[in-house]
Chain A
Amino acid sequence: MRALCIVELKTPDPAAASAFGAFTRRLGLEGTLLRLDRADLFDLQVDDSQARHLQPLLAHTTLIANPNKEDARLIEGPDGMPLDGPVILVRDREGPAGEALTARIRRDHAELGTLVVRRAVLWTPTFAAGVSDPEALARSMADGRTRTSGLLANPHADVFEVLTGRIPPGVLSGASVAG
């Protein structure tokens, strides 16, 4: 079974605020970029027999999300997460982080002994109406190949993907798991 988990701060995200400020004040998107949200995306893979233990893991531990300061949304089923517009997924070039977290969950929660966790950062831009190519604009926001172009991914440390329509379950499973 595969599932997605979206973890967001309950308070305004300071990284998203700083990135929004950089885009609108420094990178020319004032009036075009109306809002920028940031979340951690966890791509979860577990045997069907253990899947029922995922929700309690989120509700009663701080391993994936800290309920005191974060909201966690578990999205199960083959359709994944539907999207209203483009989103940007950023992960390490060496592979999505999650190895250490996977090992810790397996060690402390034997009921989830088959779980594999992969992790990336999910950026959700909201553009002004009338933007002609939101997908291309999202791509340019991610591509940090110069300090005057994008910001969200350094091409020598990160890889990014712009998704539209939906985030499918298993979206990060194509890459190996890295620490």
Chain B
Amino acid sequence: MAGMKPRVAVIQFPGVNCEWETADVLRSVGLEAVVLRWNLPPGEIAGHDAYVLPGGFSYQDRVRAGAISAREPVMETLTEAAANGVPILGICNGAQVLVEAGLVPGDADGAVKVALARNQMPGRSGYYSRWVELETTNVVCAFTRGVPAGTRIPMPMAHGEGRFTSADPDVRGGLEQGTSVPFRYADADGAARGFPANPNGAVGAAAGVVGGSGNVLALMPHPERSAWLWQVPQSHPGAWGERRRAWSADDGDMATAGPGRIPFEALARTLTEA
């Protein structure tokens, strides 16, 4: 209906902790956002124009991060939506759920094709958090629509199990060659070649892996944590750091958009220009 905003559902599994700020970012790009508990009747979850699985620790990461949530009935609704081309974004723990549900990379048989394995970092192990630089590629994705390949997007990562990998040689090859990777970790020269620019040892420096027909994205870093310019550290290098310092010097507007808004703006374009 003309004039109506596209409606996006943010699914609140027990233990997630980024649902409200994710909804705020969706609203900031002109979308209607609702936070829905995961155990609502399917009829109340179905029918949205897009879905976001936010970050956090659903089911306390028990067994494996995302593994329990991926078996919940709500994922049947999302699997059906994904097959119908509805955009679905999983951020961090949400990405882990999408991977465990077989939606990323995803195919008709529903097989789990990749894992978000434990971080591999020289000289350390476990949970790790830092600002990273992402670079978009030319892989078709609902969350990069209208975004030129090579666009730099700084945002924080914070996880212990975030290394995209696969035991399937074909799928692993897709990660290595970037054919399923619309967002990759980057350093000054391009794709990140090592730690800490690639903060977890992900194959192909994959930060985000796409599924379906480009409508499903599992993204490990947190764009909602850099969606306002004031969230970017003043010490951040590069163009966004310069903008942040200038913003401070000019006593800038708190509402000024940050780099993490780019994937959400792309989603808004996908939903309104389709």
0/1 interface trace, chain B 97-117, chain A, CB 8 Å (1 if under): 000111000000111111111
Known A-B contacts A26-B72, A144-B67; A155 and B125 likewise in contact (beta carbons under 8 Å): no
Complex CA distance for A145 and B168, rounded to whole angstroms: 12
User: Is A14 a contact partner of B62 (Cβ separation < 8 A)?
Assistant: yes
| Contact A19 B111, CB 8 Å, known A26-B71, A93-B167, A157-B117 | no
Chain B residues touching A, majority SS: loop
A27 to B102, CA, bound (A): 16
With contacts defined as CB atoms under 8 Å apart, how many contacts are there between chain A and chain B in the complex?
A: 80
Within 8 A of B (CB), among A60-100: 92-94, 100
Task: Give A85 Cβ to nearest chain B Cβ, in Å.
Answer: 20
What sequence of 0s and 1s flags, for each residue 103-136 of chain B, a beta carbon within 8 Å of any chain A beta carbon?
A: 0000001111111111010000100000000000
Chain A, interface size category, equals: 20 to 34
Chain B residues with CB below 8 A from A22, complex form: 63, 68, 71
A148 at the interface (CB under 8 A from B): yes
Say yes or no: A19 contacts B68, CB within 8 Å: yes
Q: Is A163 an interface residue (CB 8 A)?
A: no
The answer to whether A154 and B118 touch (CB under 8 A), given A14-B60, A18-B59, is: no
- Whether A15 contacts B62 in the complex (CB less than 8 A), given A145-B112, A156-B112, A156-B114, comes out as yes
User: Is B125 a contact of A156 with CB atoms below 8 Å?
Assistant: no
Whether A147 and B115, one on each chain, are in contact in the complex, defined by CB atoms closer than 8 angstroms, is no
Cβ of A165 within 8 Å of any chain B Cβ, yes or no, is: no
Within A129-164, which residues are at the interface with B (CB < 8 Å)?
144-148, 151-152, 154-158
User: What band does the interface of chain B fall in when counting residues whose beta carbon is under 8 Å from A?
Assistant: 20 to 34
- Contact of A154 with B165 in the complex, beta carbons under 8 Å: no
Residues of B within 8 A of A21 (CB): 68
Other than the given A18-B62, A154-B64, A156-B167, 9 more pairs (CB < 8 A) read: A18-B63, A26-B71, A26-B73, A145-B112, A147-B71, A155-B115, A155-B167, A156-B114, A158-B115
Pairs A–B under 8 Å by Cβ, sample size 26 = A14-B60, A15-B62, A22-B63, A22-B71, A27-B71, A92-B118, A93-B167, A144-B67, A144-B112, A146-B111, A146-B112, A147-B101, A147-B112, A152-B63, A154-B67, A154-B112, A154-B115, A154-B117, A156-B112, A156-B115, A156-B117, A157-B64, A157-B117, A158-B64, A179-B120, A179-B125
Taking Cβ atoms with an 8 Å cutoff, the residues of B that contact A are: 59-60, 62-64, 67-68, 70-73, 75, 100-102, 109-118, 120, 125, 165-168
